[in-house]
Amino acid sequence: MTMNITISDIIAFAAKTLTAGGIAYAILQFYGKKWLESQFSKKLEDHKGKINALFSRISKIHEKEFEVLPEAWRLLQKALGLVSALASPLKSYPDINRMNTAEFDGFLATSRLNDLDKQSLASASDRNKFFQKKIFWYDLQDAREAVNAFHNYTILNKIFMTKELFDAFKAVDNLLMNTIIEQEIGTEAEDRSMTRNYFKTTRTQIEPLVANIEELVQERLHHAEA
């Protein structure tokens, strides 16, 4: 059987084929573009979520830092004040020996001494000497508790401080605790040279460290921008 294929038939077939291919390509291009846009949007949203979560964590850390540093500074000042008072050679005491009965009773009522020590004070031949020796141990305990509170707080909140700032806090902490130990040992041994060492230590070591801490804290809290 002989097929008579004309030029017109060939042209019609080619046009039909090219038209179908063009439509398929156009469809593929359209949906491919939509798919790529969808994938890009999804990736963009994922990155936005990660970035927002990161900024949220950073913001919380800074918020905690604004809470921690002022409290650490407050605890440091309290500890420093009590240790300074403990070690000061310029302490003043009430003249208990010259108090009349009413004055002495009023003094006992407001004294930090426990009941047993109050009874011992009342019966002491030299009330001034007894009180001055006894009150030292109360002051020592107060200073030790303040230094321990400062120490524990800085340790627990170390992660919210820069290494430089924590190291500075730690250095002062060690010096304050060493001072308490010196005061305790020196008082028990009645060695005044040990109890006088604090002020030399304060001038040469503690005061510069505290001044440095103040600058570092202000820097972290953006004091200059406030």
pLDDT at 101 over 50: yes
DSSP states along 89-123: TT-----GGG--HHHHHHHHHH----HHHHHHHHH
pLDDT of residue 167: 96
pLDDT of residue 63: 79
- Token readout for 45 is 């949203």
User: Are 183 and 91 within 8 A, CB to CB?
Assistant: no
pLDDT band at residue 48 using 50, 70 and 90 as cut-offs: low
- Token readout for 146 is 């303040």
pLDDT band at residue 29 using 50, 70 and 90 as cut-offs: low
- Report, as an integer, the average pLDDT of 28-50: 64
CA distances from 125 to 55, 67, 97, 120, 128 (A): 69, 51, 9, 10, 9
- Report, as an integer, the average pLDDT of 87-116: 93
pLDDT of residue 13: 52
Q: Taking all residues of the chain, what is their mean pLDDT, rounded to a whole number?
A: 82
The packing angle between helices 127-156 and 115-123, to 10°, is 150
pLDDT in tens, 71-84: 999 999 999 999 98
Dihedral of CA 138/144/147/148: which sign? negative
